[in-house]
Amino acid sequence: MNTREQTYMAIKKMLATLDDPFTRFLEPEKFKSLRSGTQGALTGVGLSIGYPSQLDGPAAGLVVISAAPGGPANRAGILTGDVIVAIDDTSTETMGIYDAAERLQGPEGTSVELTIRSGPEIKQVALTREKVSLNPVKSRLCKVPGSGKDSPSIGYIKLTSFNQNASGAVKEAVDSLKSSSVNAFVLDLRDNSGGLFPEGIETAKIWLDKGVIVYICDSRGVRDIYDTDGSSAIAASEPLAVLVNKGTASASEILAGALKDNKRAVLFGEPTYGKGKIQSVFELSDGSGLAVTVARYETPAHIDIDKVGVIPDHPLPISFPKDEEGFCRCLQDPASACYVNRVQLFAR
């Protein structure tokens, strides 16, 4: 090849023959941003995006899986389920999610214009990029009205992504809530679009005293089994409810599937996104990289969730909030539209 560009183009054409949206070539800048995202900080607009699923209907464009709380997109009112129709006047109809992610990221202080379809309404939104720090965990203690001084308390933990801080941050939250003597936990994985596979496994080990977490399968069948002997468990017996939605993807589906199939938790919400594929990332000599789908995974009950997702045990009230303040309110106030009593929440 005469130029670097020609080389890149040849690699992209070669990969395109595999017809897999998750196998892709990453120029040096893109490769660097993939790395920095899993390490805990990104400069962008705070959006996690995905391809439309069957549930979205015929959505021409890319679907918002989640908007980072307090980030530019979240402040501008962009919601889960909104469709990004164009980025800076370039249609997203045939755009890959990684190309889109690269267009959304960029130097701090620069701006990007999105065309968003929210329900029937189409709107233009101009956003200024900023450093979005990715502390993946928020937690709080919810006191639930009960009899006398023994009123039960529930530990709520919201996990937003699986970067390299994830399992450590969940452990810290569990320890701190246990020191306040909680009786039960709620783990909120709504709009968690995944991240590092090993962090998903480590987080599952916190809750399980034994059992298979996930099977890794290739074209010949089961290749690897990830399981736990309970040595990392710090909350294996307290009642546990897990909240999921269609923004729950990849590593968070592995976690939700493991907790459901091992009968460790009750799942609430809607079917998850359905990304049952695993990529390995390889760095090339000039700092560019390849992400290649190398396997698919099955949950402990041997369910392949690709394109179907993990199916929850129960739905959540439509008006159920996504923040920790709102969550506590829904447990405390029987008159609120989102009320769920704690017996319902943890009953098999």
Segment holding 259, helix H or strand E: helix 251-261
Q: The dihedral of CA 205, 207, 208, 212: what is its sign? A: negative
Q: What are the φ and ψ backbone dihedral angles of 191, each rounded to 5 degrees?
A: 60, 20
Catalytic, out of 30, 171, 246, 275? 275
3-class state of residue 155 by DSSP: strand
Residue length, the chain? Answer: 348
CA 259 – CA 241 distance, rounded (Å): 9
Mention every residue, 6+ apart, whose C-beta is less than 8 A from residue 198. none
Mention every residue, 6+ apart, whose C-beta is less than 8 A from residue 46. 67, 68, 70, 71, 72, 73, 74, 132
Strand order, beta sheet including 153-159:
137-143, 153-159, 184-188, 240-244, 266-269
Which one, of 220, 208, 224, 218, lies nearest residue 256 by Cα? 208
Which one, of 310, 183, 210, lies nearest residue 251 by Cα? 310
Residue 308, number of CB atoms within 10 A of its CB: 15
Segment holding 242, helix H or strand E: strand 240-244
Helix axes 28-39, 97-104, angle to 10 degrees: 80
Tell me if residue 250 is catalytic.
yes
Segment holding 132, helix H or strand E: strand 130-133
> CA distances (Å), 208 to each of 39, 170, 211, 258, 263, in order?
26, 14, 7, 9, 10
- Longest distance between any two alpha carbons in the chain, whole Å: 79
Catalytic, out of 167, 250, 252, 288? 250
Tell me if residue 275 is catalytic.
yes
Catalytic residues: 250, 275
